[in-house]
Structure 1
Amino acid sequence: MTDRGRGVSASIRITVCAVVGVLAGAVVAALGIWWLVPLAVWDIAAVVFLAWIWWSVWAVDAAGTARHARRDDPRRGASDGLLLAASLASLLAVGIILVRASHSSGATKDLLIGASIISILLAWSVVHTVFCLRYARLYYQGAPGGISFNEDDPPSYADFGYLSLTIGMTFQVSDTDLQAKAIRHTATRHALLSYMFGTLIIATTINLVASLGQ
């Protein structure tokens, strides 16, 4: 199986996504839609990141997952933190945009609301993608283990994606057992962040509904 871009370091990947996002923001600014620039930068950067990651790892088998997860990248932790911070910051930008939408009408209002919805979905997806990759790294560091998926076959990225989405949507694990302290600590942080993220999404949704009613 080919690597399909899995050898690229996290820092290079983040840099490429940021550059593409900034270029998209410059295009939006050149069109005179300056108030949409922050979301344009985030949305395009997030789309590139998500497409790059999932195109690279979704169909990877367990052996390929282990090779990729064990690949050393000293800047990976900082890159993950930057992505999570950017995801939360994007929600603040959404709040500002929704305030503007409440004072707009017609096509402008529809554009603002549509961009806000897309930004929320992308931010949510980025957060749980970051944790999916982190669970894989923790599992395959050293001797594989720390998470029981209740089957003999070793897990692939699709399995870690399942775990990440389960915690992200329910704030708990379901049919997987977390057997290592580092993984349990990560899952706790993930659940807390997901809860906070969910609260922000609910608040943003309420504002969105209020904007639609005006």
Structure 2
Amino acid sequence: MPLLARTHPRLSAAATLGVAVGILAPADSILGKILIGWNAGVWTYLVLMLWLTMRAKAPDVKRIAEVEDENAGLVLLLVCIAALASLGTITFELAGSRDLETTRKLLRYGFTALTVIGSWLLIGVIFSVHYARLYYTWNGKEPALRFAEELKTPNYWDFLYFSFTIGVAVQTADVGVATRELRKIVLAQSLIGFVFNTAILGFSINIAAGLFG
């Protein structure tokens, strides 16, 4: 944990807050506590990353990428597993919504939307951070990612653009992928994005059926 706190301070702080909120949350079930804690941690991390993105220049991105290099693959894997698990957890929560009164049902559906959107955004952000790390720690002669305007020092906005284009459209648009390692990561994000997009469609149909069915 000290290593994670040193290399990924924002993620560590958000995770710690999420665990604390989950433990203290006045929920009726363990799943409810887990989801409340998950949302607290996820949205805290997203806010922290938004703040970092607005302030960080390319040299800052490079410095952070070098610090995060030590256990970045494991962090990416764990975050993706947790995000996918949140979809399964919210499915169980939705299963008990049909017999609730209207107000509680609307709250449950709103909480579902908050959870799914937060997890989807988390995937895009965590992959963008990973792409930044791979880009700035790559030792080849040519850049690992080739941006359309021959950009050599991209910042977080550029990596977010690349990551969320994959998440939304499952394609890399105008950014070329020049290394095998990056292609593997892009493939993984594309598959995870497909799962999330399918889940969002399914949850939307479920919520619509619950409200109007």
Q: TM-score range by the shorter chain?
A: 0.7 to 0.9
How many angstroms does 1:72 deviate by? 4.5
* Alpha-carbon distance between aligned partners in 2 of 1:171 and 1:185, rounded to the nearest angstrom: 14
In structure 1, list runs of 5 or more residues that go unmatched. Answer: 1-6
* Alpha-carbon distance between aligned partners in 1 of 2:11 and 2:149, rounded to the nearest angstrom: 34
The structure-2 alpha-carbon separation of the partners of 1:64 and 1:101, relative to structure 1 and needing over 3 Å to count, comes to same
Q: What is the correspondence of 1:47-126 to structure 2 with a 5 Å cutoff?
A: 47-126=43-122
Deviation beyond 4 Å, 4+ runs, structure 1: none
Aligned-pair RMSD on alpha carbons? Answer: 2.0
Letter in structure 2 aligned against 1:192: L
Pair 1:149-2:129 in alignment: no
* Alpha-carbon distance between aligned partners in 2 of 1:161 and 1:61, rounded to the nearest angstrom: 14
Letter in structure 1 aligned against 2:110: G
The structure-2 alpha-carbon separation of the partners of 1:57 and 1:90, relative to structure 1 and needing over 3 Å to count, comes to same
Per-residue Cα deviation, 1:84-125 (whole angstroms, up to 9, x for no partner): 111111111211111111121122111111100000000000
* Alpha-carbon distance between aligned partners in 1 of 2:184 and 2:55, rounded to the nearest angstrom: 28
Per-residue Cα deviation, 1:44-73 (whole angstroms, up to 9, x for no partner): 010111112221233322222112112244
* Alpha-carbon distance between aligned partners in 2 of 1:108 and 1:204, rounded to the nearest angstrom: 17
8 A Cα contact 2:124 2:163, kept in partner: yes
Of 18, 25, 41, which aligns to 2:15?
18
The structure-2 alpha-carbon separation of the partners of 1:72 and 1:119, relative to structure 1 and needing over 3 Å to count, comes to closer
8 A Cα contact 2:22 2:37, kept in partner: yes
Secondary structure in 1 matching 2:23:
helix
8 A Cα contact 2:69 2:133, kept in partner: no
Letter in structure 1 aligned against 2:197: G
How many percent identity over aligned positions?
26
Superposition TM-score, scaled by structure 2 size: 0.87
* Alpha-carbon distance between aligned partners in 1 of 2:129 and 2:211, rounded to the nearest angstrom: 37
In structure 2, list runs of 5 or more residues that go unmatched. Answer: none
Pair 1:41-2:37 in alignment: yes
Number of residue-to-residue matches in the alignment? 205
* Alpha-carbon distance between aligned partners in 1 of 2:105 and 2:75, rounded to the nearest angstrom: 34
Q: 61-70 or 16-25: which moved more?
A: 16-25
Q: 32-41 or 81-90: which moved more?
A: 32-41
Q: What is the correspondence of 1:193-208 to structure 2 with a 5 Å cutoff?
A: 193-208=192-207
Residue aligning to 2:133: 137
8 A Cα contact 2:129 2:159, kept in partner: yes
Residue aligning to 1:172: 171
Secondary structure in 2 matching 1:102:
coil
Superposition TM-score, scaled by structure 1 size: 0.87
The structure-2 alpha-carbon separation of the partners of 1:67 and 1:16, relative to structure 1 and needing over 3 Å to count, comes to closer
